[in-house]
Structure 1
């Protein structure tokens, strides 16, 4: 095997490593000029290990921007393979990996494609054909319509006009071989794609789908529906059609009309995002019921064209904007063990839900194998399902290895045994290796058995996003700590040090393709242990740079939310946005608290009550101020950290009738907080990132004091210890003088810790703990967290927009600016236009995702400051000069400070 690797990111580096381990040394890699080549400090990091220039080949863009460019690129790749002696192609998990036209071209050129063959790509890779196959094989599918192009064709030519259409466009179609009108339409459409002509266009397809949407909206007025371009994946080329009842109207018919009116433009958006709106492109778009409470699960499928088997599942429900964030394994072994644990603990509802999950997993695995056999899967594929209650529906098959494939391979390995000699076998632990073996040996490979490696695994996708999980391109990584024990880090080679100097080499996150930086994985005996290991990995990961923003803090908080609330919780795909809204509310409340004011007020109370000892008390509390305030400031600055901390400690602190009730010692809580924030004292560590030495001395002395005391007294918990310390009667083992000294030391160590209660005050004020896990593992999401306006408002709290003058609109993020929906269409706004709140001003493409930017207020465009399509813009760059309908009133710093002081006094008033 001499493969040419034509993908990028972590999978390219993984493929290089696996090929090296397999003894495949004559491989090459394809680089795109957008794949960091043209950016300073952003050369593809894989080149740090692959130093042979003859094995590096360059193209302008991997797949091209139009159908013509894609076809040219395919031929260019074939030519590169021929000219350099490559006999196989590895396309990883990018869009090229499931491009049936490309795979078929590779096969015709005599190249061995390491992945599913073109037959499988056509049968399963295109969403409409996959759904037809699923229905034919008895696989459960989501209710909807998958033949929009056929419907548009019938609407335009009539069912009896297909033959005339073929003659008019000089298309050779064997209608006699088709069993029904639907097959005739499909054959005619396939011929038009081959001839590179449009017999139906995007507008006609949109109109056909609009008719279907009206019927579906009328039948289910409370349901939302999803539109999906058939070639999409990873959330691209998909849009949500809101429910009929979300619109105003006197009758249901009026509401349906308003909802369905959006269908044509949504269809166009789907096609534009995938760049499949050109002449001759297959423009079919599916519409299906969107199950809002769904969980997203997928089954790993492996086959050689004859046999097909599964390797367990993955839960990918934790996602946002169709982009997966946290993925966790779902295995029979882990579920069976979790059922036993829940039953033993008397958690009947949890055990019952886990039993249902086990049955659903078994059904999905069975259907995945059936579907894989039906489409003659001869490599790796992913059988994707949505789970709604006790029902599951097939969604699509990804005819490629998935980004999260390591979640599966860390749980299972495959044993290939000689059918004629059970002692003759080999074991494959890498799914990339399995792909190579299947491409090389195909039907000669016997069906393997899966062997358990670990019961659970979990993967966090570390992306270049801000605290609101919006793409943030352009940052430079200047330092990245080394991976710790138990951490698997797929980072494209970014953290590879200079082999001569062992110095970290800067890396520019150009973001031309997507926001992913790395995949962080680990394993465990239970889901809890795997989450705890991932939490430790995230705690100790230090990532610093210039204009750098990642979702590292988000993952750290989210992992602790689940550890604190219920590790077996079953979140749906709509969980993350309400969760982010809850975190935003924490931030909003924290912004109103002045920690200096709070501590100084507490200090003043102690000093006022100290009488002759006022000076000593003042000095003692001054010495403790930063010990107590610094970690709180860190939580205030990183609301995701606050979310995780509150989730873990929600039962440890209560405020009732003005009294702070600690369930654990506040000194112990403070010590754990420093550890949680990775601020432990370490010699040689910069003081900025750890507890200061004098604070460390105070805290260490306090921890030692209470540890020693707990060993000498009979107190089951901290409330019992507090009750003991409240009495002046010395317990057994202490003299009266000794006990007086102990009580005095306790008062000194305890003083000032009241400020820590601000965390529970913030949680109470925001209702944070109302977002909770139920006994049956479902999650209660307070209704206010689903309010769209509040969600948008809290996103701005988490990431305040750039400071702007009242007469301009600034770019909310960097990216590529488009003033219109698509080439040839009118611009959204031009000079002199009036716009209203919610109108689209422009589109920004960030990391391959198209985002419409809407007006936050109404006004008139005085001047457009950016001209042209596809112009690179930077965050904070002025885009429009505007005349607002209403002048914005800006609060002065003094007014803000006074509001914070008043809110802080309100908090202190809750304490005695």
Structure 2
């Protein structure tokens, strides 16, 4: 049995592993970079070791530092979590060579599934259904073009070493193939140092179905049923669920049996996921579900499987890594109810999903409504150096409708500020009729365009809720002898008929409302420094009293605001310079993304507070453009 475990990861997955290890009586060691010195996973572990600067390439991705930390603290095992070094066969072997237990599959299993072309050949030999395509060694443009023509368009070009949607191109016609191949190879070379590709038949109504498998060192392999991860944005999962809607028992048995064969083909140990692509044009059917790849690690979405099976997958990982057999046999596993998981990210869908970093002055996630997996607490920082996930919100219900309703309720209860989140986007996805019917494909979000990301319209009810919230302290104070807001500049005053009034503002608009007209408003507000947060369809609106200017400027008055905390990496204008509408003024960088800020209209730059190389906070006024004619 493992006695002391080092977690070679950070954030919510590190906290998740620490929780189970503690329940099993296993001591834990966290590792951390400069940016994570005060992170929740560091505070939660029994010990913590600093492993380097903030960039992951200098800390979490340096295997030698992690192994040294394990030896320094006397840890006898390393759990890689997911991401970072979790699917690095070289690191897994180095851990084993150092005399430590590796909580994961054998390095040979990782290698076998590491390249998509080799993995598909292996799966075909194991009797696992594979998407029609080409995985040959001849990588000439001529041969690839010939094979694509034979497969039939549309066809998908995929980097053999790819992942996360990189190195993938859909080609609709033969004339476009050569250019798409060149672009795909260029991206694959830059991302994976390998420009080899494979070809697959494009599935026109694709569903992403994956099966959780588990193996041990005693030759046992079981499956824990399937998950549906079809709701994706740019190949990144958004909402996952288990079991898959529309999956009949016969199809489930066939696809899960194929997943077990796949795991046995590589002598698999530990937790793994076999990912399939389903042609759902006529519903889910076993003869139209094909192997895509295997993830040789724990998945982000593993909680939904835990919720429907009652199994702690991390506990199983630790037991199997310690030499024990899988705790349950296949006939002891069954599906109970339905579970859904939403990934809450620090990003703003209304600005093209720009990352939103900074301090979490307000963070409220209701653990009474959902299972919350998080690596941050109120007051923590969302770092620009890593994945911007704030939490995974997981619900369980007797059936799918029940689980969905609970998730919607939990999303309505999300309170985060000033960091922006995708909560409203998640709720919009959840309420989409096609998704609600369980008939989504991987293209649903792209097909909807801006419909899922537009902020809801601010209505009279929200103004009234904000006014009520601002009324409260003044109204209560007025009932105390010798106190009250009379004569203050707060915006509160008595109307001549005795009904109190208050002025509140949002953005550049201000309204004066009477208490009497607000009492029937529905909803509630969260009081924060600077005003009241009112939520509509999980989207926050900040209201304040007159005189508060934080974040109130907008492009309408020519103020250029920072849409996210970041660094000014390019400054293209000077104060007093004339600019055209749409002209680039400067470029911000955050989380390795660049965002150009442009002039909202033709005019003159009358103020310029930004400077190249400067770090700026969200909604800081960086420049002001005065329109022509003013």
Q: TM-score normalised by the shorter chain: which range applies?
A: 0.7 to 0.9
Cα distance in 2 for residues equivalent to 1:361 and 1:289? 23
Cα distance in 1 for residues equivalent to 2:343 and 2:411? 12
Q: Could you say which residue in structure 2 is the equivalent of 1:288?
A: 200
- Change in Cα spacing, 1:558 to 1:237, as seen in structure 2 (3 Å) is closer
Q: CA deviation at 1:813?
A: 5.3
Q: Could you say which residue in structure 2 is the equivalent of 1:612?
A: none
Q: Could you say which residue in structure 2 is the equivalent of 1:237?
A: 166
Q: CA deviation at 1:10?
A: 0.9
Q: Could you say which residue in structure 1 is the equivalent of 2:125?
A: 136
- Change in Cα spacing, 1:283 to 1:478, as seen in structure 2 (3 Å) is same
Give the alignment of 1:435-454 within 5 angstroms.
435-442=317-324, 447=329, 449-452=331-334, 454=336
- Change in Cα spacing, 1:125 to 1:95, as seen in structure 2 (3 Å) is farther
Cα distance in 2 for residues equivalent to 1:842 and 1:226? 36
Report if aligned partners of 1:384, 1:394 keep a CA contact under 8 Å in 2. Answer: yes
Residue 8 (str. 1) matches residue 10 (str. 2): yes
Greater mean deviation of Cα atoms: 126-135 or 259-268: 259-268
- Change in Cα spacing, 1:813 to 1:451, as seen in structure 2 (3 Å) is same
Cα distance in 2 for residues equivalent to 1:471 and 1:127? 31
DSSP-derived class of the 1:297 partner: strand
Residue 33 (str. 1) matches residue 28 (str. 2): no
Report if aligned partners of 1:804, 1:810 keep a CA contact under 8 Å in 2. Answer: no
Give the alignment of 1:110-129 within 5 angstroms.
110-129=99-118
Cα distance in 2 for residues equivalent to 1:873 and 1:455? 47
| Alignment match of 1:537 (pick from 406, 410, 415) | 410
Report if aligned partners of 1:841, 1:853 keep a CA contact under 8 Å in 2. Answer: yes
Report if aligned partners of 2:153, 2:202 keep a CA contact under 8 Å in 1. Answer: no
Report if aligned partners of 1:237, 1:271 keep a CA contact under 8 Å in 2. Answer: no
Q: CA deviation at 1:269?
A: 2.2
1:850-874 Cα offsets, whole Å, 9 max, x none, are: 67979999x9xxxxx9989xx9787
Higher relative helix content = 1
Higher relative strand content = 2
| Alignment match of 1:49 (pick from 44, 55, 61) | 44
Residue 457 (str. 1) matches residue 339 (str. 2): yes
Report if aligned partners of 1:475, 1:549 keep a CA contact under 8 Å in 2. Answer: no
- Change in Cα spacing, 1:537 to 1:271, as seen in structure 2 (3 Å) is same
Q: CA deviation at 1:59?
A: 2.7
Q: Could you say which residue in structure 1 is the equivalent of 2:25?
A: 23
Q: CA deviation at 1:3?
A: 1.6
Q: Could you say which residue in structure 2 is the equivalent of 1:361?
A: 252
Give the alignment of 1:474-623 within 5 angstroms.
474-481=357-364, 483-492=366-375, 494-495=376-377, 505-543=378-416, 545-546=417-418, 548-562=419-433, 567-583=436-452
Q: Which has the larger radius of gyration?
A: 1
Residue 384 (str. 1) matches residue 279 (str. 2): no
Cα distance in 2 for residues equivalent to 1:319 and 1:472? 18
Cα distance in 1 for residues equivalent to 2:233 and 2:312? 28
Q: CA deviation at 1:320?
A: 0.6
Q: CA deviation at 1:221?
A: 7.3
Q: CA deviation at 1:78?
A: 2.2
| Alignment match of 1:58 (pick from 51, 63, 68) | 51
Residue 371 (str. 1) matches residue 283 (str. 2): no
Give the alignment of 1:144-293 within 5 angstroms.
144-147=133-136, 150-152=137-139, 208=140, 210-211=141-142, 214-215=145-146, 218=149, 223=154, 225-228=156-159, 230=161, 232=163, 235=164, 237-244=166-173, 253=175, 256=176, 259-272=177-190, 274=191, 276-277=192-193, 282-293=194-205
- Change in Cα spacing, 1:132 to 1:102, as seen in structure 2 (3 Å) is same
- Change in Cα spacing, 1:689 to 1:265, as seen in structure 2 (3 Å) is closer
Q: CA deviation at 1:392?
A: 1.1
- Change in Cα spacing, 1:810 to 1:478, as seen in structure 2 (3 Å) is closer
1:213-253 Cα offsets, whole Å, 9 max, x none, are: 53355457752524335153xx2533334433xxxxxxx64
Q: Could you say which residue in structure 1 is the equivalent of 2:298?
A: 401
Residue 301 (str. 1) matches residue 230 (str. 2): no
Q: Could you say which residue in structure 2 is the equivalent of 1:749?
A: none
Task: Supply the RMSD in Å over aligned alpha carbons.
Answer: 4.9
Report if aligned partners of 2:343, 2:391 keep a CA contact under 8 Å in 1. Answer: yes
Give the alignment of 1:312-331 within 5 angstroms.
312-330=225-243
DSSP-derived class of the 1:571 partner: coil
Q: Could you say which residue in structure 2 is the equivalent of 1:736?
A: none
Q: Could you say which residue in structure 1 is the equivalent of 2:577?
A: none
Report if aligned partners of 2:88, 2:110 keep a CA contact under 8 Å in 1. Answer: yes
Q: CA deviation at 1:49?
A: 3.1
Unaligned runs of at least 5 residues, structure 1 = 38-42, 153-207, 245-251, 336-353, 414-428, 496-504, 597-618, 637-669, 692-758, 760-800, 820-836, 860-864, 881-886, 893-912
Q: Could you say which residue in structure 1 is the equivalent of 2:477?
A: none
Cα distance in 1 for residues equivalent to 2:254 and 2:590? 39
DSSP-derived class of the 1:263 partner: helix
Cα distance in 2 for residues equivalent to 1:443 and 1:19? 18
- Change in Cα spacing, 1:875 to 1:61, as seen in structure 2 (3 Å) is closer
Cα distance in 1 for residues equivalent to 2:100 and 2:322? 11
Cα distance in 2 for residues equivalent to 1:449 and 1:539? 39
DSSP-derived class of the 1:402 partner: coil
Cα distance in 1 for residues equivalent to 2:143 and 2:584? 27
- Change in Cα spacing, 1:404 to 1:114, as seen in structure 2 (3 Å) is same
Question: TM-score normalised to the size of structure 1?
Answer: 0.52
Report if aligned partners of 1:840, 1:852 keep a CA contact under 8 Å in 2. Answer: no
Q: CA deviation at 1:362?
A: 2.7
- Change in Cα spacing, 1:141 to 1:467, as seen in structure 2 (3 Å) is same
Cα distance in 2 for residues equivalent to 1:108 and 1:392? 39
1:619-659 Cα offsets, whole Å, 9 max, x none, are: 9xxx9x99xxx9xx99x9xxxxxxxxxxxxxxxxxxxxxxx
Cα distance in 2 for residues equivalent to 1:405 and 1:549? 26
Give the alignment of 1:883-902 within 5 angstroms.
none
Cα distance in 2 for residues equivalent to 1:430 and 1:122? 26
Report if aligned partners of 1:471, 1:515 keep a CA contact under 8 Å in 2. Answer: no
Report if aligned partners of 1:6, 1:62 keep a CA contact under 8 Å in 2. Answer: no
Give the alignment of 1:56-135 within 5 angstroms.
56-60=49-53, 64=57, 73-135=62-124
Cα distance in 2 for residues equivalent to 1:817 and 1:392? 47
Give the alignment of 1:766-777 within 5 angstroms.
none
Q: CA deviation at 1:840?
A: 13
- Change in Cα spacing, 1:51 to 1:532, as seen in structure 2 (3 Å) is same
